């Protein structure tokens, strides 16, 4: 109680002393408002106000100013200086700064097409505090009536008539200077990708006719003529030289410098596909790897896109520490360019150790690991990874759940070998050596030890990956992914209570020895072309997998017969058969630089067949968690209207709360409250269902006439810490509609809010 009283008094003290250090005749800038009749978001216009008041936190007010005012007046004392440094000096109202702000706001409206805009300021004084209101009258905005390219350079005009890219400016758009600038950038990018190496957007200008007396503008894009009145030069690539494996640190023995460039002392020069490759004695990279990732081809027009793809191609090779590309006019022909590509080698061998903290659905643990990587195994950018790992997890489940309240440890090894190309027989060379192609072979072994059992996982995978659509579409194909799961030891108690329990076939199926041989394809399409900060973005992800094709072929050839359970086996182990697919779509709209709105739709469907009555536990869908329905914790929702229950005093819901179908929908409103923090409000809806009517999952089967009554709904608040390179997310979700309750009790929005809440921690946005 005393702490609460002190806390309240401290807040009152800080709030009542905000004008303590304001000189006589001056005023504290307490607040400002912007009133306008334009289409702008107020938060965007706030950026043009030159003088901002002291920062304020929700509920707590101007904390920084309060701390500053707590300091004494004697600045010779170190305590006073320290407190003032921690706090924030009061912002004294300035007439000149207010006038500049008003002028900046007017200019911004003019730039957006409000050419008749007017700005007025209103001051409101209360004691030693002053508030400023900027009244913006935009008037009728000017709109574009007609827009045409009128480039005086005939070659450029012909190119623009053939390029399949639409102008950013269209009839009816506002006469917005920012969009005009984006249009100049787009045309400049086109020119620099069709040979105009030394072109700049500064060569482009607009002619605007605003004399139509109808708030309409006729707009024309033209180009300044060259000083010599000659056409702009369109360049082709002439010579391409690649200096491979140059290490300037060993310049005393390996390299020599000529002007600004380095070369090998004892060079080995090779001509390959119109390019000159210069090697040192180390034979750093194979010629095929060098040519595959170079897009600056002889006798082709210069292109910024080709230059950037060359940087990206070499940048993906871990054996290369740095890539330098110099492009300059050729001494042989003034219309051609010479390119020199220098590839600096990185360390081929890497060792790393790590001790990670883990948080799996609220259970804490540690996971040490040691890794070795060879980044250039066969001199073609191949990567060999070997990782030894371990983990210890402290389980904090219910006292009534033998499976979930025992701490456990595990250890294992992962090995992978990846090639920067397609390794596949009978494949065309042009396909096999795509720059974005990768082939990875991986094998792994993991041992999981609990007091009641030991479980082992063996896996082997062959994966192909490649990109298309200018790297906006990424594909991954697991040609074969084999997982063998076995339990070499179980306690008698675990065996009798779970594996031989006829009342829970799902649990028995989840802990049986089995072979999962699957083939899977996934794709990710990302729209990252944002011409302005308000351009919407989207992500589309899809996945499809089928399991059991290879084992089915083997058993058919061997004429294997089903056992007493109707299952065929390979080497005494039953194999799984199922098909599974999922698709997720997320889209984000930007109303302003600080305000965005996102929504997400996800659908998944899986079906066991043939050798399986139930999907393997790891391949089933679950709901709840930081990236799902956030009113529920991980794996605690569904399926359907299934109710959490106990059997013989033992909870087994972690297995029962899985399904064969998933449907999710989320919306999220995001608002920046500072450069570092973002505030969000969200609503999530969805659930999982089973396709079959399993006895131990009553109410879990999907039915068209009732599934809509089983869609769970949650709402909540989120706080995000945006570090630029990393976004840390804290979400608090609350149940609004719980299908796991009786029909009359499912609306739980205002019932037991603390019990119906779930806290989530995540990295990155949920979608």
* pLDDT tens digits, 545-556: 999 999 988 888
Burial 17-34 (b: 16+ CB within 10 A, else e): ebbbbbeeeebbbbebeb
Q: What is the three-class DSSP state of 655?
A: helix
Q: Per-residue pLDDT for 628 more than 60?
A: yes
Say which residues have a Cβ less than 8 Å from residue 641's Cβ, sequence separation at least 6.
699, 700, 709, 710, 739, 740
pLDDT level of residue 253 (50, 70, 90 thresholds): low
**What is the pLDDT at residue 46?**
86
**What is the pLDDT at residue 402?**
45
Q: Per-residue pLDDT for 560 more than 90?
A: no
**What is the pLDDT at residue 364?**
56
**What is the pLDDT at residue 718?**
93
The model's pTM is 0.76
As a whole number, mean pLDDT of residues 312-338 equals 91
Q: pLDDT tens across 4-24, in order?
A: 444 444 444 444 467 777 788
As a whole number, mean pLDDT of residues 129-142 equals 92
- The DSSP-derived string for 266-317 is S-EEEEETTEEEEE-TT--S-HHHHHHT----TTSB--HHHHHHHHHHHHT-
Name the more confident of 767 and 357.
767
pLDDT level of residue 264 (50, 70, 90 thresholds): low
Distance CA 32, CA 529 (A): 35
Rounded to the nearest integer, the mean pLDDT of the chain is 85
Would you say how long the chain is, in residues?
767
Q: Per-residue pLDDT for 307 more than 70?
A: yes
Give the range among 53-57, 297-301, 652-656 with minimum mean pLDDT: 652-656
Q: What is the three-class DSSP state of 430?
A: helix
Name the more confident of 703 and 73.
703
As a whole number, mean pLDDT of residues 416-428 equals 87
pLDDT level of residue 436 (50, 70, 90 thresholds): confident
Q: pLDDT tens across 675-727, in order?
A: 788 999 999 999 999 998 888 788 889 999 989 999 999 999 999 998 888 88
Distance CA 200, CA 681 (A): 43
Q: pLDDT tens across 495-530, in order?
A: 777 777 776 666 777 777 889 999 999 999 998 654
Q: What is the three-class DSSP state of 50?
A: coil
Q: pLDDT tens across 288-303, in order?
A: 899 989 999 999 999 9
pLDDT level of residue 531 (50, 70, 90 thresholds): very low
Give the range among 165-169, 360-364, 482-486 with minimum mean pLDDT: 360-364
Give the range among 47-61, 121-135, 201-215, 586-600 with minimum mean pLDDT: 47-61
Q: Per-residue pLDDT for 336 more than 90?
A: yes
pLDDT level of residue 258 (50, 70, 90 thresholds): low
Is the distance from CB of 603 to CB of 658 less than 8 angstroms? no
pLDDT level of residue 361 (50, 70, 90 thresholds): very low
Is the distance from CB of 648 to CB of 564 less than 8 angstroms? no
Q: Per-residue pLDDT for 263 more than 60?
A: yes
């Amino acid at each position: 109680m005393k702490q609460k009283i002190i806390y309240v008094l401290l807040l009152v003290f800080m709030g009542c002393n905000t004008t303590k250090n304001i000189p006589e005749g001056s005023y504290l800038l307490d607040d400002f408002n912007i009133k306008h009749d334009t289409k702008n978001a107020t938060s965007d216009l706030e950026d043009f106000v030159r003088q901002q008041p002291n920062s304020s936190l929700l509920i707590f007010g101007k904390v920084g100013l309060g701390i500053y005012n707590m300091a004494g007046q004697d600045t010779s004392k170190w305590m006073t200086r320290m407190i003032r440094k921690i706090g924030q000096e009061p912002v004294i109202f300035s007439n000149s700064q207010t006038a500049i702000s008003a002028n900046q706001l007017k200019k911004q409206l003019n730039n957006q097409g409000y050419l008749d805009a007017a700005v007025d300021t209103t001051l409101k004084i209360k004691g030693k505090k002053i508030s400023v209101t900027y009244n913006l009258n935009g008037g009728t905005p000017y709109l574009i009536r007609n827009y045409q390219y009128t480039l005086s350079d005939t070659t450029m005009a012909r190119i623009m008539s053939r390029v399949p890219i639409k102008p950013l400016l269209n009839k009816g758009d506002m006469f917005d200077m920012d969009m005009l600038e984006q249009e100049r950038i787009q045309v400049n990018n086109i020119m620099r990708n069709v040979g105009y190496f030394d072109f700049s957007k500064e060569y482009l200008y607009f002619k605007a006719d605003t004399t139509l007396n109808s708030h309409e503008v006729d707009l024309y894009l033209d180009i300044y003529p060259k000083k010599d009145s000659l056409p702009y030069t369109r360049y082709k690539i002439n010579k391409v030289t690649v200096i491979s494996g140059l290490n300037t640190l060993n310049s005393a023995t390996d390299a020599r410098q000529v002007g600004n460039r380095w070369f090998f002392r004892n060079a080995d020069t090779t001509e390959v596909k119109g390019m000159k490759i210069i090697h040192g004695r180390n034979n750093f990279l194979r010629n095929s790897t060098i040519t595959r990732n170079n897009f600056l081809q002889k006798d082709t027009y210069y292109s910024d896109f080709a230059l950037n793809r060359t940087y990206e191609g070499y940048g993906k090779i871990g054996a290369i520490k740095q890539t330098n590309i110099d492009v300059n006019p050729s001494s042989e022909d003034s219309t051609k360019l010479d390119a020199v590509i220098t590839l600096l080698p990185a360390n081929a061998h890497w060792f790393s150790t790590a001790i990670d903290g883990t948080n799996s659905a609220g259970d804490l643990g540690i996971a040490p690991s040691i890794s070795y990587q060879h980044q250039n195994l066969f001199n073609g950018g191949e990567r060999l990874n070997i990782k030894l790992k371990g983990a210890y997890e402290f389980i904090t489940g219910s006292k009534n759940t033998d499976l979930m309240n025992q701490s456990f440890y595990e250890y294992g090894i992962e090995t992978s070998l990846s090639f920067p190309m397609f390794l596949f027989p009978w494949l065309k060379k042009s396909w096999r050596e795509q720059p974005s192609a990768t082939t990875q072979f991986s094998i792994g072994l993991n041992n999981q030890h609990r007091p009641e059992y030991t479980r082992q996982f063996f896996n082997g995978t062959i994966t192909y990956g490649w990109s298309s659509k200018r790297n906006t579409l990424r594909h991954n194909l697991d040609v074969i992914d084999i997982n063998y799961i076995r339990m070499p030891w179980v306690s008698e108690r675990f065996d009798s209570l779970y594996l031989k329990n006829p009342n829970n076939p799902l649990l028995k199926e989840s802990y049986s020895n089995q072979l999962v041989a699957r083939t899977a394809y996934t794709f990710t399409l990302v729209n990252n072309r944002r011409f302005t900060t308000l351009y919407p973005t989207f992500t589309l992800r899809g996945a499809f997998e089928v399991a059991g094709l290879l084992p089915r072929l083997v058993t058919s050839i061997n004429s294997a017969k089903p056992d007493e359970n109707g299952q065929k086996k390979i080497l005494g182990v039953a194999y799984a058969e199922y098909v599974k697919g999922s698709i997720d779509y997320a889209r984000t709209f930007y109303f302003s630089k600080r305000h965005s709105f996102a929504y997400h739709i996800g659908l998944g469907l899986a079906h066991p067949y043939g050798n399986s009555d139930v999907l393997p536990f790891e391949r089933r869908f679950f709901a709840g968690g930081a990236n799902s329905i956030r009113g529920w914790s991980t794996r605690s929702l569904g399926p359907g209207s299934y109710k959490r229950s106990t059997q013989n005093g033992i909870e087994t819901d972690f297995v029962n709360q899985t399904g064969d179908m998933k449907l999710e929908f989320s919306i999220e409103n995001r608002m920046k409250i500072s450069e570092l923090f973002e505030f969000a409000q969200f609503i999530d809806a969805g659930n999982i269902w089973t396709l079959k009517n399993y006895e131990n999952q009553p109410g879990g089967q999907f039915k068209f006439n009732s599934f809509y009554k089983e869609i769970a709904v949650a709402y909540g608040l989120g706080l995000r810490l945006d570090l630029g390179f990393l976004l840390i997310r804290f979400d608090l979700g609350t149940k609004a509609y719980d299908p796991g309750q009786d029909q009359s009790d499912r609306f739980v929005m205002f019932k037991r809010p603390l019990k119906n809440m779930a806290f989530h921690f995540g990295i990155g946005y949920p979608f």
